[in-house]
């Protein structure tokens, strides 16, 4: 007893106890008074009262036990009763649980991804103090894609008063040799104080020291994974030298297995200081116009995000005045939490999906509410009986709610199982398109969410039937028998279906828009032919190839072209579909401006034959050739968009421009003659507009590394991989080949995010249609079953079967029209949330709306037709005899 | 079984007392049972309270705090409609029990 009591009295222990105490004392006091009145001495009276009463502590405990235990017992009794009731109607129970499992399961699975991506704190110390810093042009406040230059970064780091640390980082990669086979290692070049800024310790060894940013320092931290795979967890690794792309680096520490930085690069194996960017002849740390750095900072204690933003913006504005040539388009700084910077654009997609899946659950709840309302009719007598036996309204509502909650608990349990079974499929669909999504798994938040959403669902679908049922009019019910059903309940059920149709329509419209957009992306012309292309990447380290790159690549591509089944092959530095791009400005003598005002365009380096390999049409002039070398006249090829934007209506062939790309220090940018114009290419599958592009011959910029290899073959591209690897190894056995992918695979990865949103919304929309159809079918069947007698009388009085059929269909038509009308309105109001996820279609697409409405109307009428035909085939004699 | 019957008997006494007197506190119930039974039945005073609270949870009786004639605060109990029904049943089954027991005792 006392155990129950402790559980139940957790909240109200003291109050209950005081009451019981008061009641028992009153009894004893009254007995004492009476005893004294009977002539006992006060002492005697007290003792007698105590003896008569018994052990007061024990009794108090027993009374409290009765109070608490009975509360629990009542609930337990309600639950058992609910289970019995549900077991008596297995058809209803199974339908409801399956419906709920689908709805809750989809929600839990989606939420587990949202949880992993958006809610879990970053795995660093006090992550809420970490900020992401982006330079801004206040004319484009939404552009978060800008990067810092080193000189700007250094000024911001030393000049600010609000940050404890500001750490620059950018990615890089190395070829590690001398330990087994050469391997390609992803790396990050960071400021020395990365670890103190994040509040992370190495697992072995130490972090960087401030003086290790000085040029000539070669120290690295390695990842646990790299330590494991390449050094077999050698405890003596610290202090050892390793060869990275031809340079010796000293390992100073090993990071713990859970360490990831940045979060978007889980494969990083090496971190080294920005001394790596200060190599002799490398001007990247001194050029203020070279923007390629990201920055993460830690706020000083007590400093707000806004204060830091203000502080850094002031410095930026100052730099703009000080260096107008390079900084005129950067006038402020934007500070966000590191987490929101990481989540970035995926927030919209995730929120849309989460919203959609919540709507699915809402529709499912509508269905179950409808089923419950139908069941209430059968249970009216039972409820009336219990009311007659003295059960209060509250008691009945409680019982019915407990039933709903038992249902939703069962549905929630089944839904969780479903969700955990489906999460791998979901993660596969998402792929690498959302950072941290792969971490999705069960945690406390997800369980809390599952319990919460199940209870909310149970209350939503339980409360309306419970309240209507408790309002059952006892007298009229007993007088008229079981055939009465409150008209308001009919109205409620129709309203529920109307709402379901409307919500389903919004979902289906959203899915339709995403599908339209995705088809647009798939169909869109890339500007090249992505079929039968194999791509791969390897590095040509400066240590050995600084000056011989053009020769090496020329020989290499000759050998590739000689491989069987190869039609053509070429190299390209920034390849389409790799979410990589570079933008440089150029000088145009016909439109002279100051340095900061110069126009910019995308740039990439290519070898001869690139256009033929990609099947990019050559519109004017010539392709680059092997005769374009360091010593020959400097040339450039531009695309159509470039010609149109910068030289509208002119012939660009023969014009000279000077792109800001030089071959090393002391060798300034060259004037280049435009020798060809090619068709425009989409750099990314989700690019909204074509950007002007400049193609520079890699043979004339020998110090730029590295080229992707693009091979066009007549066979399955992957069949070429072994030959290609062998070929590279035969030329330099220290170069590992990485990123072997077909162009189709790259496009597939680029489309992963739009595809994931589309597939999920498509599935949810299908689910919502199915649920709504089942719901409508149920309501129509029910309403006809209830009116069998009425229809029978009508038919006996001469109503035609067709007439009955059309009357029932008309009823369904009214529901559908109302639902579709509201749904279309709601869609028009809400789909603008999708705007940023749509390509090639607006958020209000009349075609999609019409198609979706038609689907809703047709499926709805089919769902209504079956019960309508059953109504039309009612035998009047039987209908009148029944009941 | 025996325990249930005894408990049932206590419940019956309490319900009947409340039916006869209307509203009464625990001490009053003890005195009433004692007086009405000509001192034959003496309820163990403390053990009355767990029973009262259980019956209240079952909805047979309601309670409220009020002042006694001597201006003392006490918890008063009174019968609910459900309790009245319960009393009828309990009376019936008790009579049957008594009849049965008596018949057995008289069987020669």
B interface mutation test: which of A26, A69, A77 has the most B CBs within 10 A? A26
Tell me, yes or no, whether A573 and A700 share the same domain.
yes
Tell me, yes or no, whether A561 and A697 share the same domain.
yes
Q: Which of B45, B50, B73 sits opposite A52 (nearest CB)?
A: B45
How far is Cα B73 from Cα B67, in angstroms, rounded to an integer? 5
In a domain? residue A710? yes
Q: Which of A31, A55, A66 sits opposite B53 (nearest CB)?
A: A66
For residue B23, give its domain range. Answer: 2-106
A interface mutation test: which of B24, B49, B84, B89 has the most A CBs within 10 A? B49
Please give the tally of structural domains in chain B: 1
Strands (E), A178-218: 183-190, 204-205
Tell me, yes or no, whether A561 and A487 share the same domain.
no
> Does the pLDDT at position A307 exceed 90?
yes
CB pair distance less than 8 Å for A59 and B57: no
Residue reference for tokens 């069947």? A781
**Domain limit, last residue, from A40, A62, A80:** A80
Q: Average pLDDT for residues A441-453, to the nearest whole number?
A: 88
pLDDT class of A854 with cuts at 50, 70, 90: very high
Predicted pLDDT of residue A370 = 86
Predicted pLDDT of residue A10 = 46
Backbone angles phi, psi at A280, to 5 degrees: -55, 135
Tell me, yes or no, whether A496 and A581 share the same domain.
no
Backbone angles phi, psi at A842, to 5 degrees: -80, 175
In a domain? residue A422? yes
User: Is B26 an interface residue toward A (CB < 8 Å)?
Assistant: yes
Tell me, yes or no, whether A508 and A580 share the same domain.
no
Q: Average pLDDT for residues A169-176, to the nearest whole number?
A: 86
- Beta-carbon contacts of A599 under 8 Å, excluding residues fewer than 6 positions away, are A585, A586, A588, A646
Q: Are β-strands A219-222 and A566-572 bridged in parallel, bridged antiparallel, or unpaired?
A: unpaired
CB pair distance less than 8 Å for A30 and B74: yes
Which among A290, A143, A171 is positioned nearest to A578, based on CA atoms? A171
Tell me, yes or no, whether A430 and A381 share the same domain.
yes
- Beta-carbon contacts of A99 under 8 Å, excluding residues fewer than 6 positions away, are A364, A367, A368, A411, A771
pLDDT class of B108 with cuts at 50, 70, 90: low
- Tokens representing residue B2 in the block: 């025996």
Q: Are β-strands A708-713 and A533-537 bridged in parallel, bridged antiparallel, or unpaired?
A: antiparallel
Model pLDDT for residues A637-673, shown as the tens digit of each residue: 999 999 999 999 899 999 999 988 777 666 778 899 9
CB pair distance less than 8 Å for A29 and B72: yes
Tell me, yes or no, whether A707 and A803 share the same domain.
no
CATH number at residue B67: 1.10.10.10
Tell me, yes or no, whether A730 and A758 share the same domain.
no
CB pair distance less than 8 Å for B82 and A389: yes
Predicted pLDDT of residue A484 = 47
Tell me, yes or no, whether A386 and A495 share the same domain.
yes
For residue A567, give its domain range. Answer: 539-735
Which three-class secondary structure string do you get for A251-299?
EEEECCCCCCCCCCCCCCCEEEEHHHHHCCCCCCCCCCCCCCEEEEEEE
In a domain? residue A98? no
In a domain? residue A670? yes
User: Is B27 an interface residue toward A (CB < 8 Å)?
Assistant: yes
pLDDT class of A824 with cuts at 50, 70, 90: very high
Q: Average pLDDT for residues A416-443, to the nearest whole number?
A: 84
| Residues of chain A contacting B80 with CB distance shorter than 8 Å | 390
| Residues of chain B contacting A66 with CB distance shorter than 8 Å | 50, 53-54, 57
Predicted pLDDT of residue A358 = 92
Tell me, yes or no, whether A59 and A23 share the same domain.
yes
Tell me, yes or no, whether A508 and A391 share the same domain.
yes
> Does the pLDDT at position A610 exceed 90?
yes
How far is Cα A65 from Cα A78, in angstroms, rounded to an integer? 20
Check: CB of residue A733 under 8 Å from CB of residue A588: no
**Domain limit, last residue, from A262, A294, A329:** A329
Q: How far is B94 from chain A (nearest CA, A)?
A: 22
Q: How far is B96 from chain A (nearest CA, A)?
A: 24
CA A495, distance to chain mean position in Å, is: 34
User: Is B45 an interface residue toward A (CB < 8 Å)?
Assistant: yes
Model pLDDT for residues A751-772, shown as the tens digit of each residue: 888 888 888 889 999 989 888 8
Q: How far is B67 from chain A (nearest CA, A)?
A: 11
Strands (E), A3-157: 130-136
In this complex, how many residue pairs, one in chain A and one in chain B, have their CB atoms less than 8 Å apart? 73
CB pair distance less than 8 Å for B49 and A33: no
Residue reference for tokens 């005894």? B6
As to burial, measured by CB atoms within 10 angstroms (0-12 exposed, 13-18 middle, 19+ buried), residue A860 is: buried
| Phi-psi category of residue A170: left, alpha or beta, with phi > 0 → left and psi -120 to 50 → alpha | beta
Chain A residues whose C-beta sits inside 8 Å of any chain B C-beta? 19-20, 22-24, 26-27, 29-31, 33, 52-56, 58-59, 62-63, 65-67, 70-71, 74, 389-390
Q: How far is A8 from chain B (nearest CA, A)?
A: 14
Q: How far is B95 from chain A (nearest CA, A)?
A: 23
CB pair distance less than 8 Å for B74 and A26: yes
Model pLDDT for residues B67-101, shown as the tens digit of each residue: 888 888 889 999 999 899 989 988 888 888 888 88
Q: How far is B38 from chain A (nearest CA, A)?
A: 18
Instruction: Please name the helix (run of DSSP H) or strand (run of DSSP E) that holds residue A165, with its range, or none.
Output: strand A163-177
Model pLDDT for residues A411-422, shown as the tens digit of each residue: 999 999 999 898
ipTM above 0.95, yes or no: no
In a domain? residue A741? no
Check: CB of residue A708 under 8 Å from CB of residue A652: no
> Does the pLDDT at position A378 exceed 80?
no
Please give the tally of structural domains in chain A: 4
Tell me, yes or no, whether A809 and A698 share the same domain.
no
Q: Which residues pair with B63 in a beta bridge?
A: B77
User: Is B62 an interface residue toward A (CB < 8 Å)?
Assistant: no
Question: Residue A201, Cβ neighbours under 10 Å: how many?
Answer: 15
Q: How far is B41 from chain A (nearest CA, A)?
A: 14
**Domain limit, last residue, from A58, A80, A102:** A80
Instruction: Please name the helix (run of DSSP H) or strand (run of DSSP E) that holds residue A763, with its range, or none.
Output: helix A752-786
Q: Long-range contacts made by residues A471-479, C-beta under 8 angstroms, separation at least 24?
A: A472/A380, A472/A383, A472/A384, A472/A387, A474/A384, A474/A387, A474/A388, A477/A380, A477/A381, A477/A384, A478/A384, A478/A388
């Amino acid at each position: 007893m006392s155990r129950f009591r402790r559980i139940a009295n957790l909240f109200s222990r003291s109050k209950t106890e005081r009451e019981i105490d008061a009641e028992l004392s009153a009894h004893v006091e009254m007995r004492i008074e009476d005893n004294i009145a009977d002539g006992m001495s006060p002492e005697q009276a007290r003792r007698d009262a105590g003896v008569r009463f018994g052990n007061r502590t024990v009794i108090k405990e027993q009374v409290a036990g009765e109070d608490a235990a009975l509360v629990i017992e009542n609930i337990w009794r309600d639950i058992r009763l609910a289970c019995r009731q549900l077991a008596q109607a297995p058809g209803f129970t199974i339908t409801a649980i399956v419906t709920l499992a689908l709805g809750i399961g989809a929600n839990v699975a989606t939420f587990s991804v949202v949880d992993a991506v958006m809610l879990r704190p970053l795995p660093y110390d006090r992550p809420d103090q970490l900020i992401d810093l982006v330079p801004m042009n206040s004319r484009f406040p939404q552009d978060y894609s800008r990067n810092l230059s080193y000189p700007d970064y250094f000024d911001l780091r030393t000049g600010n008063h609000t940050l404890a640390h500001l750490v620059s980082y950018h990615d890089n990669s190395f070829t590690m040799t001398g330990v087994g086979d050469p391997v390609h290692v992803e790396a990050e070049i960071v400021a020395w104080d990365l670890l103190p800024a994040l509040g992370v310790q190495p697992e072995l060894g130490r972090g960087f020291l401030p003086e290790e940013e000085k040029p000539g320092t070669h120290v690295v931290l390695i990842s646990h994974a790299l330590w494991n795979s390449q050094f077999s967890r050698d405890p003596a690794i610290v202090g050892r030298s390793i060869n990275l792309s031809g340079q010796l680096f000293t390992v100073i520490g090993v990071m713990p297995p859970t360490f990831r930085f940045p979060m978007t690069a889980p494969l990083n194996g090496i971190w080294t200081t920005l001394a790596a960017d200060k190599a002799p002849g490398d001007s990247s740390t001194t050029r203020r116009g070279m923007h390629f750095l990201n920055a993460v900072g830690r706020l000083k204690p007590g400093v707000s995000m806004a204060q830091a933003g203000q502080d850094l913006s002031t410095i930026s504005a100052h730099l703009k005045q000080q260096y107008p040539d390079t900084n005129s388009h950067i006038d402020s700084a934007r500070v966000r939490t590191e987490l929101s910077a990481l989540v970035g654009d995926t927030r919209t997609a995730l929120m849309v999906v989460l919203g959609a899946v919540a709507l699915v659950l809402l529709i499912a709840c509508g269905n179950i509410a409808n089923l419950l309302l139908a069941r209430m009719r059968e249970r009216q007598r039972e409820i009336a009986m219990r009311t007659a036996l003295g059960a209060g309204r509250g008691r009945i509502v409680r019982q019915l709610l407990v039933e709903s909650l038992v249902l939703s608990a069962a549905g929630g349990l089944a839904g969780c199982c479903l969700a955990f079974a489906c999460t791998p499929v979901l993660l596969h669909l998402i792929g690498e398109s959302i950072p941290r999504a792969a971490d999705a798994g069960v945690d406390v938040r997800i369980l809390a969410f599952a319990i919460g959403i199940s209870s909310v669902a149970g209350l939503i679908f339980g409360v309306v039937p419970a309240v209507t049922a408790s309002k059952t009019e006892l007298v009229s019910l007993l007088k008229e028998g079981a055939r009465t059903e409150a008209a308001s309940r009919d109205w409620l059920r129709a309203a529920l279906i109307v709402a379901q149709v409307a919500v389903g329509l919004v979902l289906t419209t959203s899915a339709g828009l995403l599908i339209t957009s995705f088809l647009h992306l798939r169909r869109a012309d890339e500007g090249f032919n992505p079929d039968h292309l194999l791509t791969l990447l390897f590095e040509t380290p400066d240590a050995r190839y600084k000056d011989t790159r053009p020769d090496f690549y020329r020989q290499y591509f000759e050998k590739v072209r000689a491989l069987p089944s190869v039609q053509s092959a070429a190299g390209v530095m920034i390849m389409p579909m790799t979410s990589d791009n570079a933008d440089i400005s150029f000088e145009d003598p016909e439109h002279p401006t100051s340095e900061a005002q110069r126009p910019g365009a995308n740039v990439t380096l290519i070898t001869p034959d690139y256009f033929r390999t990609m099947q990019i049409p050559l519109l004017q002039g010539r392709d680059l050739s092997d005769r374009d070398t360091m010593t020959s006249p400097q040339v450039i090829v531009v695309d159509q968009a470039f010609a149109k934007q910068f030289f509208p209506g002119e012939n660009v062939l023969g014009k000279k421009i000077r792109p800001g790309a030089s071959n090393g220090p002391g060798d300034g940018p060259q004037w280049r003659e435009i020798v060809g114009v090619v068709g425009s290419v989409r750099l990314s599958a989700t690019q909204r507009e074509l950007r002007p592009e400049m193609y520079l011959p890699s043979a004339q910029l020998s110090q730029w590394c590295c080229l992707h290899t693009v091979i066009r073959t007549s066979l399955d591209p992957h069949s070429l991989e072994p030959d290609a690897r062998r070929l590279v190894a035969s030329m330099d056995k220290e170069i590992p080949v990485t990123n072997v992918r077909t162009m189709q695979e790259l496009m597939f990865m680029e489309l992963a995010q739009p595809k994931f949103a589309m597939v999920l919304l498509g599935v949810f929309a299908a689910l919502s249609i199915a649920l709504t159809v089942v719901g409508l079918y149920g309501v129509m069947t029910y309403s006809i079953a209830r009116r069998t007698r009425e229809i029978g009388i009508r038919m006996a009085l001469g109503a035609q079967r067709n007439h009955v059929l059309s009357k029932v269909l008309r009823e369904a038509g009214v529901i559908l029209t109302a639902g579709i009308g509201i749904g279309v309105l709601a869609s028009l109001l809400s789909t603008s949330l999708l705007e940023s996820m749509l390509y090639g279609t607006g958020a209000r697409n009349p075609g999609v709306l019409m198609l979706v409405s038609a689907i809703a109307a047709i499926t709805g009428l089919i769902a209504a037709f079956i019960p309508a035909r059953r109504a039309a085939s009612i035998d009047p004699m039987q209908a009148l005899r029944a009941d | 079984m025996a325990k249930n019957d005894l408990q049932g008997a206590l419940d019956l006494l309490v319900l009947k007392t409340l039916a006869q007197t209307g509203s009464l506190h625990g001490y009053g119930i003890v005195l009433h049972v004692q007086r009405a039974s000509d001192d034959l039945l003496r309820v163990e005073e403390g053990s009355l309270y767990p029973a009262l609270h259980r019956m209240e949870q079952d909805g047979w009786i309601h309670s409220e705090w009020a002042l006694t004639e001597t201006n003392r605060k006490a918890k008063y109990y009174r019968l609910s409609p459900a309790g009245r029904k319960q009393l009828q049943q309990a009376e019936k089954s008790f009579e049957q029990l008594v009849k049965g027991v008596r018949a057995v005792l008289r069987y020669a």
